[in-house]
Amino acid sequence: MKPFLRTTTILAFASIIAFASSTAPACTGITIKPKDGSVIFARTLEFAADLKSNIIVVPRGTEYVGTAPGGKPGHRWKTRYGTVGANAFDMPVVVDGLNEKGLHVGLFYFPGFAKYQEVKADDLGKALAPWEIGSYLLGTCLDVKEAVAAAKSVLVGEVVQKDMGFVPPIHLIVTDASGKSVVLEYVGGELKVHDNPFGVMANSPTFDWHMTNLSNYVTLSQKNIEKIDLAGKEIKGLGQGSGMLGLPGDFTPPSRFVRAVAFSKTAQPVDKAKEGVLQAFHILNQFDIPKGAAQGIEHGKEVYDYTLWTSAADLKNLRYYFRTFDNSRIRMVDIKAVNLDAQEIKTISMKGEEEIEDVSGKAK
């Protein structure tokens, strides 16, 4: 029997989330659908501190105990499906991951809007902490339909990490191998489920607000506007990209959401999954935040959000790709090649320094 994993005993994850509460991390997610029927979900993860993330392989049959408000034992579950994804500080739960059935779940920061469900004394056995819901869905569900039903069967409570005095605000995007995508948000003490036709994700405010905000950009187009006639004067465009004039370029969630829709939905169609993965990484280059560009104040000190890592999940071929701030080389974990019947969670390091190839000697 595999040991129960009591996530409340590990507070490092909560401490990092707490640290980020005032700096509002700027994560962005997109979906690419190549012609071969594959589905690629890719995202960035930004924080103002190094999460020290690694890839974990969670085998089938892993047993968890969730966390109820007050740090009490909550919902218990055993994983039916193996999962590969990125964690933080050796946590046994993932903040972004893919299971063996092609279901992907990503946690995104949701400050100022998350308000979780009430958990009464009789409901402790249904309770999860906010950071546990992603791993619960990945371990027990094979598609979006099952994930929505599973999310409705549990309660995500206002679980305070007593050492920090803080409840981490998150919302989730859930995508399956068919391309179906939904956003799960806990607002006003209720679970809200939003269909996500674009497969795009950002941070606050709520998903329905972001969708309404797209109405402000109905004139955007991938096609150049070559010229207009203005009071009898011919005005010509300058260079390429005039159809996207007015596209917001800052790092705020509303602007990133608009750009994510614009770039992912105007991208040239690709044939195969590998091309889709590379295309997704190229698009997310537009959302990469360098250190120093997004500054905040934490405990009187300057802090800077930056892109810690970027991942892409191939939901058809069951491959999880990633690159990091320190190493932009794309690395991959094939779920079909790892042992999903292992007796414990395995870890794959995300660490590594950038390698610069000297090609001077190849001159002909």
Q: Give the number of other CB atoms < 10 A from CB of residue 187.
A: 17
Q: Are the C-beta atoms of 308 and 301 separated by less than 8 Å?
A: no
Residue whose entry in the numeric block shows the structure tokens 């029997």: 1
The C-alpha atoms of residue 6 and residue 52 are separated, in whole angstroms, by 20
Tally of CB atoms within 10 A around 298:
14
Is 141 noted as a catalytic residue in this protein? no
**Hey, how many other C-beta atoms are within 10 angstroms of the C-beta on 197?**
13
- CB distance 224 to 243 below 8 Å: yes
As a dihedral over the C-alpha atoms of residue 176, residue 182, residue 183, residue 189, rounded to 10 degrees, the angle is -120
Q: Rounded to whole angstroms, how far apart are CA atoms 10 and 67?
A: 11
Rounded Cα gap, residues 197 and 194, in angstroms: 9
Backbone angles phi, psi at 195, to 5 degrees: -65, 140
For every residue of 198-215, DSSP letters joined together read T--B--SS-HHHHHHHGG
Residue showing tokens 């990490």? 161
d(CA 28, CA 201): 6
Distance in angstroms (rounded) separating the CA atoms of residues 167 and 175: 25
Q: Which residue carries 């991959």 as its tokens?
A: 332
Q: Which of 27, 32, 93, 95 is catalytic?
A: 27
Closest CA to 286 of 249, 321, 322, 320: 249
Closest CA to 332 of 267, 260, 273: 273
Q: What's 136's DSSP letter?
A: H
Say if CB 127 and CB 220 are below 8 A apart: no
Residues assigned a catalytic role:
27
